[in-house]
Amino acid sequence: MGLESGIRERWRPAGGLQDDGLIHSPAGRRRSQEGDELHGVGALRRNPLAAASQPCIFSQGGELIWRAPRRGLNRTMEFEPLKVLLVGNDARFAHGVAEMLRASGGATGVATVPTLEAGLAELAAHSYHAILFELPSANAAGLFQVTQLTLKIPRLPVVVFGPANDGIFGAEIVRAGAQDYLTKDEIEPRALQHALRCAIERQHEYNALIDEKDNYYGIFDHLVEGVFRTTPDGHYLLANVALARIYGYESPVELMASIKDIATRLYVEPGRREEFVRLMREHDTLTGFESKIYRKDGTIIWISENCRAVRSAPGRLLYYEGTVEDITERKHSEEQIRRTTSELSRSREDLRAKNLIMEENLRMAREIQLTMLPQQYPAFPGNVPPEQSAFQFVHRYQAAETVSGDFFSVSALSDNEAAVFICDVTGHGVRAALVTAMIRALAEELKPLAREPGNFLRKLNSDLCSILKSTGSPMLTTAFYLVADWPAGKMRFANAGHPKPLLMHRSTGRIELLAHVSSRGEPALGLFDNPSYQTSEVTIAPGDFVMLFTDGLYEVQGQNEELYSQERLMLDAQNLLQKPAAQMFDELLEAIRAFSVDHEFDDDVCLVGMEFAGKPALKS
């Protein structure tokens, strides 16, 4: 069996010989049977940049040279002489093949060993580009040796020399993993050189395909979420490792063999599978389908399923496929939060009433949560109309989901002092909204400490830690708190890991970040038991404007995965500096939406502004 028949047998499923007399690989590249254009000098001359990124063998001065691929075009190209290991116990034949390769320029490094065991030892100690393997006879023992060699050294090409031109045996050799089968009595230098060249190139493509396949299945089997494909009548067609682990099975094979009827073997509630099928029939997709299911050992867990229906071109339902997430911990956490809320109601009567209101707010969702925000702003001093107040306020509030994890408040500590508080609970949705309601209630109880921002945040953190620890599910909360005194022209503030507000000096056109003089960062609320929060003070003048915001304002992705940054926020704010506060906020939000790839915010957004209008005109 010669080179051409070996290639046909090896590559027939994806390529093969065509009428033009050229051999076509799976990637569609053409290889001349004479080998003159196979990654040769001509290929390098036609496209040196493209050729530089591919591994290849080419002729240089009559000698085959292996060029390893390089990652960057600015690095020096490195060439390595082709090294071949010849395994055979016929010393005369081995010597002849080695001399033939050296004389024809087929390889400059040819090593010979007499046995397969010696060859494996040599391969373990040194690196080679190809293996030439001599078989003394065309029998099952020789086929076994080839199989053993290709299994132990799967990434090196093997060219086998056999004693007879037996096409059937040659095909078996190729199926055993060799790249080609050549008859010992018909070897000539040019054919041997060409066979070696093609074997190395085919092996490289085969290795690349195997790497790509392994990478795909590696991703599939290492997903955190379970992945499934099921028939409409309740049989599993496909499952990944994560799904088997969620359901308590050793492997996907065991899972699919054990569960033959999803309706009765998996779901706890009768009729749950029927409900699943009904919804899929109506909508073809399903998101967040939460159910209790039995694991292999009989324990019950909660899962959430996302699914789609796959249909044929005429519209016939083929199967369902989707993902499964284990939400048992979330369900338990929600139950723990409900129990903790009840305990807090018994220990703090005032907080109990607020928590009852909070639960009702969650049931009423977004509309009720908005009532927790300031509906009107206090005036300073309290006896002047709002338009004459020393401090003017404005806000914009947008939830990413039904309810939000952002919260703010504006309150009067006295006729002279205004307090502004803003916080952002990690995530958004029901759990985050629950924590914001707790913070609102705790802040109300801390009014005696409200004039000292650092002490206020320290006590708020202590109370919040006590609550969250009992739930077993701590949640990070950033916060910023300031107290402004209009007669003194001073503003005191403290920061708990929150984005630094912008202090805009309209009289000078300058914008600065409201940061501590020490530039020391301080932790978010709910992380540590007793951190210290520094109180800082700055001077404010009439016309100054303070803009507080949550990180959802600038954590927005634009085209080409570019992120809207705090630096860009300051530039856009600079362009709007002289606009009225409400107009400034509206145009700023519109500019960020225009930047976003989907023209929406992915997270909750809260903006609060306070403008120092100056000393009010008081009636005598």
> Higher model confidence: residue 51 or residue 45?
51
User: What sign for the dihedral angle of Cα 111, 130, 82, 108?
Assistant: positive
CA separation for the pair 263, 463 (Å, rounded):
47
| Span 101-113, average pLDDT | 74
Q: What does 359-403 look like in DSSP terms, one character per residue?
A: HHHHHHTHHHHHTTS-SS---SSTTS-GGG-SEEEEEEEE-SSSS
pLDDT tens profile 493-513: 999 999 999 999 999 999 999
Instruction: Write the pLDDT tens digit of every residue in 271-292.
Output: 999 999 999 999 999 999 999 9
Q: What span, in angstroms and rounded, lies between the C-alpha atoms of 333 and 315?
A: 42
pLDDT score of 191: 82
Over residues 426-435, the mean pLDDT reads: 80
Task: Give the start-end residues of each E strand in 346-426.
Answer: 391-398, 406-412, 417-425
Q: Give the angle subtended at the CA of 415 by the CAs of 409 and 418, to the nearest 5°.
A: 30
Q: Where are the alpha helices (DSSP H) in 446-509?
A: 453-471
364-404 pLDDT per residue, tens = 656 767 777 888 999 999 999 999 999 999 999 988 887 88
- Per-residue tokens: 348: 């703090």
Arithmetic mean of pLDDT over the chain: 82
How do residues 172-189 score in pLDDT, each as one tens digit? 999 999 999 998 887 888
Distance CA 111, CA 89 (A): 13
What local confidence, expressed as pLDDT, does residue 468 receive?
83
Q: How far is CA 271 from CA 266, 276, 277, 331, 459, in A?
A: 11, 9, 10, 21, 51
pLDDT of residue 168: 87
Mean pLDDT of 420-426: 94
Q: What are the tens digits of pLDDT across the range 510-567?
A: 999 998 877 778 899 988 888 989 999 999 999 999 999 999 999 899 888 889 988 8
3-state secondary structure of 43: helix
Q: In the predicted model, is pLDDT for residue 127 greater than 70?
A: yes
Q: Where are the domains of the chain?
A: 3-218, 226-326, 366-612
What does the alpha-carbon distance between residue 138 and residue 343 come to, in Å, rounded to a whole number?
A: 83
pLDDT digits (tens, 9 = 90+) for 559-606: 888 899 888 999 999 999 999 999 999 999 999 999 999 888 988 999
pLDDT at 288: 94
> What is the third-level CATH fold of 3-218?
Rossmann fold (3.40.50)
Question: For strand 130-134 and strand 158-162, is the pairing parallel, antiparallel, or unpaired?
Answer: parallel
* Four-way CATH pick for 366-612: 3.30.1280.10, 3.60.40.10, 3.65.10.10, 3.10.310.30: 3.60.40.10
pLDDT computed for residue 319 by the predictor: 95
pLDDT higher than threshold 50 for residue 405: yes
Structure tokens at 154: 């799967």
Residue 317 φ/ψ, nearest 5 degrees:
-70, 125
| Interatomic CA distance for residues 234 and 255, integer angstroms | 13
- 158 close to 178: Cβ distance less than 8 angstroms: yes
What is the pLDDT, as a whole number, of residue 400?
82
pTM of the model: 0.44
Q: Which CATH number fits domain 226-326: 3.40.50.300, 3.30.450.20, 3.20.20.70, 1.20.1060.10?
A: 3.30.450.20
Q: Which residues contact 42 (CB under 8 A, 6 or more apart)?
A: 36
Whether residue 4 is predicted with pLDDT greater than 50 in this model: the reply is no
Across 474-492, average pLDDT: 93
Q: Give the strand pairing for 510-513 and 502-505.
A: antiparallel
> Which position has the higher pLDDT, 569 or 3?
569
Task: Provide the pLDDT for residue 110.
Answer: 84
Please indicate whether the domains covering 226-326 and 366-612 agree at the CATH topology level.
Answer: no
Q: Which residues pair with 115 in a beta bridge?
A: none
Q: Please determine, for residue 106, whether its predicted confidence score (pLDDT) is greater than 60.
A: no
Give the residue from 484, 487, 405, 499 showing the smallest Cα distance to 450. 484
Torsion angle of the four alpha carbons 47, 52, 54, 57, in this order, in degrees rounded to the nearest 10: 90
> What is the phi/psi pair of residue 543, to 5°?
95, -15
Note the pLDDT of residue 55.
Answer: 44
Give 615's pLDDT tier (boundaries 50, 70, 90): confident
What is 154-195 written as a DSSP string? Answer: TTS-EEEEESS--HHHHHHHHHTT-SEEEEGGG--HHHHHHH
pLDDT of residue 355: 59
| pLDDT for the residue 164 | 77
Q: Where are the alpha helices (DSSP H) in 446-565?
A: 453-471
Task: Look up residue 512 and give its two tokens.
Answer: 């600065």
The pair phi, psi for residue 128, each rounded to 5°, is -135, 160
pLDDT on residue 551:
92
- How are beta strands 490-496 and 477-485 bridged, if at all? antiparallel
pLDDT score at 470:
76
Residues 6+ apart with CB under 8 A from 60: 41, 79
- The residue length of the chain stands at 620
Calculate the alpha carbon distances from 185 to 93, 161, 162 in Å. Answer: 10, 9, 9
* Distance linking the first and last C-alpha atoms of the chain: 114
Q: Which pLDDT belongs to residue 360? A: 67
Residue 353: the pLDDT is: 67
Distance CA 463, CA 438 (A): 10
CA distance 204 to 192: 19
